[in-house]
């Protein structure tokens, strides 16, 4: 048997809609498949580079966009599996292939003859009669080559390739170390003394976690956010809250095989060298050069606009928590493991809101219906379950996405909503296949296959999974990313969907969150899982009134993480710092209250160190929040959250255009002007007029 007949990864995927043949794929298939895909991709590249004809857009740029499709197909499947359903065998392949795959990328983008062709076209681009999308593609590819080292000399290119290979190994190790710490931890609650204060929904999730992990007596709290945050919010056992909190914030920071401190330090060292090879003083300068923000000064200005009022608000919030503790006869000093617990007590007292009374109105299945319904009302797309199509885990639901008007297929959507030990923490969107019309056939386009991952605590067998309002917001957020991939309508894969600048990519996701808070959406979809009664108006009102509650705490945690990220990547020292000491010095310098803390400590900050996508880029959520708050005001001004003309512009210029337009131009085309920062400050309650609230 040959590789082509024995390995399902390299065979044609004659599956419904070209889905990966999940049931047939084994870890041992990937190494030989990658070897075959690398050889094929290099043959594609060499064929373009060796053409005797002068370079044209079609024979060089469009051809390059089509190249390496087998590689792209296998990589997409591999990295989705290692994130969502990994195994020791897959992790071993991931470690083995990290450097060779990085080396291959360097070989492609340092191909001198190919870059000469691309460079010649770049110099002539305004005289070639190209469409705006074609010009954008050429410019983006040319920049990709330059930022990958194509203009460096031979010695520098060799060193650059070595740096990128080592970084690939280190980022792989970093993410595997975090998963190891998360998977290994379990706080076992043996009896009622350990469970005191926990509402039924937390107990049910902890029972299910215990069952999933073979713990027959007791309940288990894991380091999944959907377990740890409710436990810190409701547990009356301060000693157990502290124990769980310390485990949560110390992920990746333990001596031994899974210690991420030396890993992160070496990553920072190598990124500084990467930037220096490109002529930049710091990695932050290199990373920001290809963003909307552009400079450290622009990022700092945005973060500073929010930091001072947020810290002031957080200090007032802490005083309120301290006062509540004293009123209960408790003389303790509020610590980080106390904040969520006492904040929930204050929230209940101020707004008469009890999480245990809210969650029954947010069963997962109803919220999935809600995101589908909002997508149909805004963009005319219909999601139809295909239970006959199986993915990589029984929990994953597969849907066909069709345009309701003519039943044409838009794409395939996979929904993977539950936490499990084989899945990394957090929530994210990814793709098994990008949309494009550059398939090489004039009649066949390529439809996207999109996956949303969440980490919700699964309900017990026969019981619904109940979401907090924040969980529901996460569901809407990731679905916004999903729509960005599904609604993509561009010609070239490089410009497709979420292949946009990093500080633009969060706009479609954060914008979609707004529809969850629409009263009409809540009345239709937020229904009690037992009675089917819609959420009461007065409960919605209390949720709205509490919307800005604890925003000082949440904002400070986020901005502190963004500032530490930027500071770490702005370093110009040749050697990376001891990350623990550096982090401590930075939070002391900025005056971060100890009881507040950061969203992510450096030793488990996967946005930064499990890949480069958000390195010197964690600020992007706030940058995009300026855009999404201002953008949603377009619907408010129209007087209808589903206004057809605003939704049409939103789809055309934001969700469908991918990277075919410069992002500022795309936003102006949608909104009619540049964004204003005031709507974001208003939403967070950080305008001066809100200071007394």
CA-closest candidate to residue 82, choices 17, 179, 160, 162: 179
Q: What residues act catalytically?
A: 478
Q: How far apart are CA 202 and CA 437, in angstroms?
A: 47
CA–CA separation, 561 and 414 (whole Å): 31
- Please give the Cα distance from 422 to 90 (Å, whole number): 11
Q: What is the chain's percent helix, strand, coil content, to nearest 5?
A: 60, 5, 35
494 is written with which tokens? 């490089």
Instruction: State residue 432 phi and psi, 5-degree precision.
Output: -90, -20
Tell me the CA end-to-end span of the chain in Å, nearest whole number: 72
Task: Give CA 546 to chain center in angstroms.
Answer: 26
Counting every residue written for the chain, the total comes to 693
Please report the beta strands in 273-351, taking only residues with DSSP state E, as ranges in sequence order. none
Q: Are 427 and 478 in contact (CB under 8 A)?
A: yes
Show Cβ contacts of residue 483 under 8 Å, excluding neighbours closer than 6 positions: 375, 379, 508, 512, 655
The total of other beta-carbon atoms located within 10 Å of residue 432's CB is 21
Rounded Cα distance between 400 and 17, Å, is 9
397 beta partners: 415
Burial 576-600 (b: 16+ CB within 10 A, else e): bbebeebbeebbeebebbebbbbbb
Q: HEC profile for 594-648?
A: CCCCCCCCHHHCHHHHCCCCCCCCCCHHHHHHHHHHHHHHHHHHHCCCCCHHHHH
- Partners of 413 in the beta sheet? 399, 450
Please spell the DSSP secondary structure of 373-410, one letter per residue.
HHHHHHH-EEEEE-TTS--SSTT-EEEEEEETTT--EE
Query: Which helix (H) or strand (E) covers residue 90, if one does?
Result: helix 88-109
Q: Which residue has the tokens 């219906």?
A: 369
Distance separating alpha carbons of residues 559 and 332, to the nearest angstrom? 27
Per-residue burial over 166-193, b = 16 or more CB atoms within 10 Å of its CB, e = otherwise: bbbbbbbbbbbbbbbbbbebbbebeeee
251-287 burial: b if 16+ Cβ within 10 Å, else e:
bbbbeeebebbebbbbbbbbbbbbbbbbebebbbbbb
Helix (H, G, I), strand (E, B) or coil at 430: strand
Nearest to 85 by CA among 572, 465, 422: 422
CA distance to 422, 432, 500, 616, per residue, from 503 (Å): 30, 23, 8, 11
């Amino acid at each position: 048997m040959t590789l082509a007949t024995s390995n399902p990864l390299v065979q044609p995927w004659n599956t419904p809609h070209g889905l990966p043949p999940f049931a047939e794929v084994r870890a041992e298939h990937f190494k030989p498949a990658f070897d075959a895909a690398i050889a094929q991709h290099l043959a594609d590249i060499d064929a373009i580079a060796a053409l005797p004809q002068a370079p044209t857009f079609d024979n060089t740029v469009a051809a390059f966009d089509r190249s390496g499709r087998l590689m792209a197909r296998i990589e997409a499947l591999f990295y989705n599996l290692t994130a969502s359903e990994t195994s020791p065998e897959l992790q071993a392949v991931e470690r083995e292939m990290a450097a060779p795959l990085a080396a291959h990328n360097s070989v492609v983008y340092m191909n001198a003859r190919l870059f000469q062709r691309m460079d010649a076209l770049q110099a002539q681009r305004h005289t070639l009669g190209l469409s705006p999308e074609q010009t954008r593609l050429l410019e983006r590819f040319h920049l990709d080559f330059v930022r990958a080292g194509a203009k460096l000399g031979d010695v520098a290119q060799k060193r650059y390739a070595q740096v990128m290979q080592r970084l690939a190994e280190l980022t792989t190790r970093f993410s595997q170390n975090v998963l190891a710490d998360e998977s290994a931890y379990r706080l076992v609650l043996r009896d009622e003394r350990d469970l005191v204060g926990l509402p039924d929904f937390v107990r049910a999730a902890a029972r299910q976690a215990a069952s999933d992990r073979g713990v027959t007596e007791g309940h288990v709290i894991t380091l999944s956010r959907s377990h740890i945050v409710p436990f810190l919010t409701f547990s009356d056992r301060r000693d157990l809250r502290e124990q769980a909190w310390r485990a949560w914030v110390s992920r990746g920071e333990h001596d031994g095989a899974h210690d991420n401190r030396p890993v992160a330090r070496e990553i920072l060292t190598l990124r500084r060298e990467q930037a220096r090879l490109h002529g930049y003083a710091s990695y932050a300068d290199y990373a920001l050069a290809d963003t909307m923000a552009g400079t450290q000064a622009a990022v700092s200005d945005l973060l500073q606009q929010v930091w001072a009022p947020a810290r002031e608000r957080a200090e007032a919030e802490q005083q309120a928590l301290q006062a509540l503790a004293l009123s209960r006869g408790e003389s303790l000093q509020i610590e980080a493991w106390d904040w969520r617990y006492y904040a929930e007590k204050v929230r209940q007292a101020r707004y008469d809101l009890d999480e245990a009374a809210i969650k029954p109105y947010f069963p997962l299945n109803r919220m999935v219906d809600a995101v589908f319904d909002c997508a149909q009302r805004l963009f005319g797309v219909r999601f139809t379950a295909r239970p006959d199509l199986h993915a990589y885990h029984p929990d994953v639901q597969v849907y066909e996405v069709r345009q309701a008007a003519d039943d044409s297929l838009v794409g395939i959507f996979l929904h993977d909503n539950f936490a499990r030990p084989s899945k990394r923490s957090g929530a994210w969107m990814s793709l098994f296949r990008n949309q494009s019309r550059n398939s090489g056939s004039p009649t066949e386009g390529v439809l996207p296959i999109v996956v949303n991952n969440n980490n919700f605590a699964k309900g017990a067998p026969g019981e619904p999974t109940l979401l907090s309002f924040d969980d529901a917001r996460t569901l809407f957020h990731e679905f916004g990313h999903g729509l960005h991939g599904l609604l993509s309508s561009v010609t070239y894969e490089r410009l497709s969907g979420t292949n946009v600048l990093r500080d633009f990519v969060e706009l479609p996701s954060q914008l979609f969150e707004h529809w969850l808070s629409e009263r009409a959406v809540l009345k239709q979809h937020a229904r009690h899982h037992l009675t089917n009664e819609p959420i009461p108006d007065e409960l919605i009102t209390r949720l709205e009134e509490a919307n800005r509650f604890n925003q000082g705490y949440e904002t400070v945690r986020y901005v502190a993480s963004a500032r530490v990220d930027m500071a770490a990547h702005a370093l110009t020292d040749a050697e990376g710092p001891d990350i623990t000491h550096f982090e401590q010095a930075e939070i002391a310098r900025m005056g971060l209250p100890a009881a507040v803390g950061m969203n992510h400590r450096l030793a488990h900050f996967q946005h930064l160190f499990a890949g480069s996508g958000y390195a010197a880029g964690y600020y992007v959520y706030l940058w995009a929040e300026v855009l999404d708050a201002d953008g949603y005001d377009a619907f408010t001004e129209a007087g209808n959250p589903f206004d057809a003309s605003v939704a049409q512009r939103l789809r055309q210029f934001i969700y469908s255009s991918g990277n075919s337009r410069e992002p500022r131009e795309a936003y102006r085309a949608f909104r009619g002007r540049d964004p204003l920062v005031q709507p974001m400050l208003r939403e967070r309650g950080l305008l001066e007029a809100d200071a007394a609230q």
